[in-house]
Chains A and B, each alone.
Chain A
Amino acid sequence: MLSLWVLASSVNGYASSRLYGAYDGASQRKLVTMGSAFLFPGLSFSIFFSLNFAVWMSGSSGAVPFTTLLLLLFMWFGVSVPLVFTGAYIGYRRKAVEFPVRTNQIPRQIPPPPFNIPQWVYIMLAGILPFGTVFMELVFLLNSVAQSQVLYVFGLVSIVFAILIVTCAEMSVVFTYLTLSNEHWAWNWQAFLTSAASGAYMFAYTQYYLYTQPSFGTTSLVSIMLYSSYSLIMSSAFALLTGCVGYYASSWFVFTIYSSVKCD
């Protein structure tokens, strides 16, 4: 699994460069590529290293030995980052995605939203549904962690994953359509955040689960830190996944409806 994650960094670089090429494409290439190589892995690694230090201080055997840490660092800097750059290089060389219609240079003023409901309310509401689809699996996952039992449900999880993808895509499309109907043309971040908000709910639920455990009062601080940090990493990865799916679905939707306009 680790090697799969490392190899997937090339897809990371390619996807980010293609996306950037579709919008701006020239001025900030270095920043975009470095960001995609270092942002999320950097956060995960720094959390992991500080957690490891805390675990080592408490004398647990769960602390990863120093040589393994060096190996992990090598896997990141030596393999993952060059793969990201390679993927980005290939992505930049390809022809950029063209918009079906011209864009205006002067941004139009965005009218106030209907009933004056701010945008973040829609985003928080939209996050509930994708979270609801994975909620049951999350409960079983946390239960199995708490009871140290093995959960072997790959078939069911893959079905739930397919349902999750479809739900995220549709939620994002619906909300993007509503946004455009309100002449709010800045749909990009909205499309990403509507689906990504489910990660926030996932994190909230893992913390709620922790506090409602009967053994909460007697658990050590390091153990709570370990649990919370790993659930943070898991929730942010989930948010990135769902946000990405939602964003691509929305951009496909927008491109489709605008390319049926034959004006120019």
Chain B
Amino acid sequence: MPVPFFLILAPLLAAIILLIFNNKQVRFLTVIVCATALFVGCFRLLLDTLANNIIYFKVESHIITQVMLLLEICLAVFLIYIGIKNRKFWIVTLAFLQTLAITIFELVYKHAIIVEHDIFIDKFSVIMALIVGVIGGLIGIYALGYMKDFHQHFRKEVKDNRNMFFFLIFVFLSAMFGVIFSNNLLWLYFFWEITTVCSFLLIGYKGNEESKNNSLKALKFNLIGGLAFAVGIIYLFVTNNIIELDKLMSMSKSLVLLPVLLISFAGLTKSAQLPFSGWLLGAMVAPTPVSALLHSTTMVKAGVYIIVRLAALLQGTTCGFMIALVGGITFLITTFLAVSQSDAKKVLAYSTIANLGLIVLCAGVGTYEAVWAAVLLIIFHAVAKCLLFLCVGVIEHKIHSRNIEDMSGLIVTMPKLSIMLQIGMSGMFLAPFGMLISKWAALQALVDYNPLLAMFVVFGSSATLFFWVKWIGRLLTVTNSDLNDHEEGITKTQWFPLISLSVLTVAMCGLFSVVAHFLIEPYIQEIYGTTITLSKGNLFIMSIMLMMVLLFPLSFFNYGKRVKVVDAYLCGANTPKGTSFYGSLGDIKAIQMKSYYLEKYFNEKKLLSVSFVVCILILIFAVISTFI
């Protein structure tokens, strides 16, 4: 069986097993076996593709297409039912319209649609497959231990639907592989909608009022994208008689601009760009594996994946420039918003949207340098962000809080986790780690194309630094109030993914030139005929920097010998206990150190309302530009 089919079907089989058997050992075994199978499958795929360029597969697809159509109709009925039950008019309309359109389209044009290849693999597919397979597998393993703690914590409030949870996670993984490997746009659309439904059901897992509202919001926004996708596909076929991605990519830009814009629009909603960012923020109520898997590393990556695929068609067009602007504005504004948040998951969510905005900015520009940077950003962001979410998930269970201010002194109370958290955060913005390299590449690509677009990165990256270092600093500040070890009781199924991802984050800085050489550069070469190679001198310097940073933990060996430990300077009003002082009336006060959140200046309401209006206007202009 060719590997792509294996990768789509294996998680599906695992999902069915996980749904039927609600037994702990069966669940454990199935997840581990499936995760291992995915790792192996993805590496096999890597080896296959290194030898060849692009591999295509044709499937005798009539039955499959009909089954897909049937499933889409069933899902639409389900969603319409949900919409009616919760009195959400938009959901009913959107689900109805898009399924009606696709059904009529497929029935009317049944014999006119000729598909040459349904499935394909090229080097970019391999990169995405590795991300989904490796990170998806690790999150699956993590979820085993996490959900056990989760249900212990929420014993009274949340019903234990773990079999449904794992079923949905693995169905989702299967659908993601489907999105990555589909050449047939109708198949892509089908898998895309499956991810929407999985996301909806998983966000609402807790079953309380807040989760239900947020899951419906996510559903609404993703359905808007789905409708645009459907209209785009139909328009594409009616005007150009093609329904395959590779054929679309070989068309001339002026003929296919509107469908490309519509499909990119679907990508924008899926990746929560402004003005659609609200659903991702709301999705943070879901359990951490959901946030890590869907809402930072894979599903939202499907959104930018499709835009990066279409980047060559967007290059040089007004439409592409408008999409780039949306990405740039999203990057800038959501970075500012991340500064003002103290809820750790919200910070991570805004940071995710910001990085996706950066990828969209590069994809909208569409030059070979920009796409190179975009692919690099996808890889590094997926690894580092996943690590961060998983860490925050474990920390939340142990200290019972998601607030950054409560993570004070974590370096002492949870040393291993805080180090992994710091690795993840450094991976997000610090030289010589991955995201910095990607941002550097993006900056250079943007300056070459249009320096004004680079200004988004210039101003945004300074704000990025602010909130990450503020958080790292919070972990390091110790005020002697709570020095107990909180790290007992973390299961091996949670440690393993955390340690693997930490190692991967660090290793990727060293290895990224290898990845770039074997995967990214050939892909760019295939599409554009020319590519970038990294300067060896810079690589060497960055390796030196990496080595220096990695040697930092050595400090713990020469741990403060020949120093005299004193209390912090408190103007001489120290009490014998180092962290409190005598107030003006002689009473004892504890010292308080609160970080700056600048809420007055980076106010969520104000910034979002202004940027929503701006981005909507830009998108309207983008549509108009396709007709000019």
The answer to whether A and B come from one shared complex is no
